[in-house]
Amino acid sequence: MKRRKFIAGTLLASGVVATTGFLQACKEYSEVSAKRSPAFKPDVEFDLISKTDKVNIFPNELTEVYKYDFKLIKGDSANIQEIRNSYLGPVIRVKKGQKIRINYKNLLDEESIVHWHGLHIPEEMDGHPRYAIDEDKEYIYEFKVMNRAGTYWFHPHPHGKTGPQVYGGLAGLFIVSDNEEDSLNLPKGKYDIPIVIQDRTFNSDNQLVYLQSPMEKMNGFLGEQILINGRPNFKLSVSSKAYRFRLLNGSNSRIYKIALSNGMPLIVIGNDGGLLKEPLTKNYIVLSPAERIDMIIDFSGMELENKVELISLPFPNPNMGGGMMMGGSSGLPNGTQFKLAEFNINKIVNEPFQLPKKLSVIPQIDTSDAINLNNPRRFRFAMSRMSWTINGRTFSMTDVASDEKVKLNTSEIWEFINGGGRMGMGMMGGMMQMPHPVHIHQLQFRIVDRSSNNNSTLWQSLKDGFIDNGWKDTFLLLPGMKVKILISFKDFPGLFLYHCHNLEHEDMGMMRNYLISS
């Protein structure tokens, strides 16, 4: 195996890492590896292998990628969908309550570990970077699916290398269904379609190009081409009926403002943590890295050969220096308008869809459950001494500060603030602010408040696109924004991550541990 040869620009990228000096060797933690427990009787078992591969994305030259390979050992193969001619990993469908065993084998020539994004599972199953394994090593995951029906996903999480490994192709979907969802008669089977949105840059030999300048790393990687499910120019022939689309923003740093080209509103039925209480109609949706949206597009009433595009609408470029004067991505700046996918009506059917009025029973938000209602725990996401920090700190493998420790079986209000502090003032401070998609591992939470002290054109352009209902594990924190969440620490004590899901920011250390003690 050739060492990451496929990523042009890697040399420069590692130069960036060296100058900012965040990367640390963490081999001493790689010895831990969960074992198969004989008492655990899985309903679904599969091998998952991370490796380098060559795939047929474009004509002529094959593209060298990282890929999750998959082999079912126990379970129904109809629940696993491989995506052909793509780097993307499989789409895995399971039911709530099922026991899953995953035999993960790392065949990359560098360390890796798999994180199950959004799943409520014990700490040794969560893919924390301290569990990263070397080439040829195995890690066994065994857990019971406790999450509600929804769209979750998996991707690597070795510290300092998550960005390049996800970019190289390592990601897949983990879709959960349950009885409540089954009773709704939502579109199923080939009418339930995953849409993983990512951006990539290819050179003239069809090879992936990653970071090319230090400023690109500070901003986060932006690709010049949009891929859906690992394929360019995504087109889908559809019948004139309702479809369910599960959108995942699997991009390293790009934000999308999603809409339909014909102005038809989007019918949102779910987000990160599953179905909403009731459907929500939106003219556009803001989807930041790692967020998911579950929506219905009803093509009924359309005519043969009608065409509808899923697009990303324009918004002001939020990157530092506007992405121009400071040398951001050249090809496709954040906030550019472009097409994501194209739907062509090729069959007229008469199957009217009844959108359920109620989707799911979700308890009301009760902030009085929080033990710190009037004294929220504060997390400031900001630039400090030329690096991206949380409360002025960067990641250290097992480090937890006193203000990052919580108690099992309590609920808290956490408040996230973008910017401020001494660097946040004035012109220069403003330029040092960027949107940060904030993610917390292991738990789904509720958003109780979102406000902005910054009446910018960016806020104006995006403010109607946030889906703050239902359960979330990731939310976008714009410059000047304050978001309050209600989070309950249940079932699993341990050391878990919270971080910026702009993967370049994460790799630079905009990530911390929090500790749940029993």
Q: Does 472 bind ligand C2O (CB under 6 A)?
A: no
Binder among 101, 499, 505, 512 for ligand C2O (CB under 6 A): 499
Please choose which of ligand C2O, Cu ion, none residue 120 contacts, taking the beta carbon within 5 to 8 angstroms, the exact cut-off set by kind. Answer: none
Which residue among 4, 439, 450, 484 contacts ligand C2O (CB under 6 A)? 439
The kind and range of the H/E element at 515 are strand 511-517
Rounded distance, CA 476 to CA 418, Å?
Answer: 10
Other residues' Cβ atoms within 10 Å of the Cβ of residue 115: 21
Smaller CB separation from Cu ion, 117 or 241: 117
Considering only residues 86 through 115, tell me which ones interact with ligand C2O, judged by CB under 6 A. Answer: 115
Q: Which amino acid is at 331?
A: G
Contact letters (x/-) for ligand C2O, 398-437, by CB under 6 A?
A: ----------------------------------------
Give the side-chain half-sphere CA count within 13 A for 341.
26
Position 121 contacts Cu ion (CB under 5 A): no
Q: Which is nearer to ligand C2O, 296 or 440 (CB)?
A: 440
Q: How far apart are CB 464 and ligand C2O at their closest, in Å?
A: 26
Q: What share of the chain is helix, strand, coil (3-state, %, to 5)?
A: 15, 40, 45
How many residues in the shown chain lie near Cu ion by CB under 5 A? 6
Nearer to ligand C2O, 441 or 472 (CB): 441
Question: With respect to ligand C2O, which residue has the nearer C-beta, 155 or 241?
Answer: 155
Residue 239's nearest CA partner among 336, 160, 304 is: 304
* Closer by beta carbon to Cu ion, 234 or else 498: 498
Choose the binding region for ligand C2O from 181-189, 327-335, 420-428, 496-504 (rule: CB under 6 A).
Answer: 496-504
Q: Residue 11 and residue 509: Cα distance in Å, rounded?
A: 20
* Contact positions with ligand C2O (CB under 6 A) in 266-285: none
Q: How far is the CB of 115 from ligand C2O (least distance, A)?
A: 5
Q: How far is the CB of 400 from ligand C2O (least distance, A)?
A: 16
For 174-226, give the DSSP string.
EEEE-HHHHTT----GGGEEEEEEEEEEE-TTS-EE---SHHHHHH----SEE
Q: How many residues bind ligand C2O (CB under 6 A)?
A: 10
Residue in the shown chain whose Cβ atom is closest to ligand C2O = 117
Q: How far is the CB of 503 from ligand C2O (least distance, A)?
A: 9
The one-letter amino acid code at 402 reads S
Residue 290 binds which of ligand C2O, Cu ion, none (CB < 5-8 A, kind-dependent): ligand C2O
Query: Least separation, in Å, of the C-beta of 119 and Cu ion?
Result: 8
The one of ligand C2O, Cu ion, none whose footprint includes residue 505, by CB under 5 to 8 A per kind, is Cu ion
Residue position matching structure tokens 């640390």: 24
For the chain, report the end-to-end CA distance as a whole number of angstroms.
Answer: 44
Asked if 497 is part of the footprint of ligand C2O (rule: CB under 6 A), the reply reads: yes
Contact set for ligand C2O, span 148-187 (CB under 6 A): 155, 157
Based on the shown chain and the rule CB under 6 A, indicate whether residue 117 belongs to the binding site for ligand C2O.
yes
- DSSP assignments along 280-340, one per residue: EEES-EEE-TT-EEEEEEE-TT--TT-EEEEEE------SGGGGTTTT--SSS-TT--EEE
CB of 220 to Cu ion, least distance (A): 7
**Rounded CA gap, 159 and 459, in Å?**
32
Smallest CA-to-CA distance from 90 within 170, 192, 200 is with 170
Report the partner that residue 499 touches, choosing among Cu ion, ligand C2O, none (CB closer than 5 to 8 A by kind). Answer: ligand C2O
Residue 502 as a binder of Cu ion (CB under 5 A): the answer is yes
In contact, 466 and 350? CB cutoff 8 Å: no
Question: What string of H, E and C letters represents the secondary structure of 323-354?
Answer: HCCCCCCCCCCCCCCEEEEEEEEEECCCCCCC
Structure tokens at 169: 């192709």
Q: Is 441 in the site for ligand C2O (CB under 6 A)?
A: yes
Spatial strand order in the sheet of 307-312: 235-239, 338-347, 307-312, 256-260, 285-287
Which of Cu ion, ligand C2O, none has residue 217 at its interface (CB below 5 to 8 Å by kind)?
none
Residue type, 264: M
Residue 117 binding Cu ion, by CB under 5 A: yes
- Part in contact with ligand C2O (CB under 6 A); list of ranges 192-200, 268-276, 390-398, 493-501: 493-501
Task: Find the binding residues for Cu ion in span 429-448 (CB under 5 A).
Answer: 436, 441
Residues that bind ligand C2O (CB under 6 A): 115, 117, 155, 157, 290, 439, 441, 497, 499, 501
- Give the interface with Cu ion as residue ranges (CB under 5 A): 117, 436, 441, 500, 502, 505
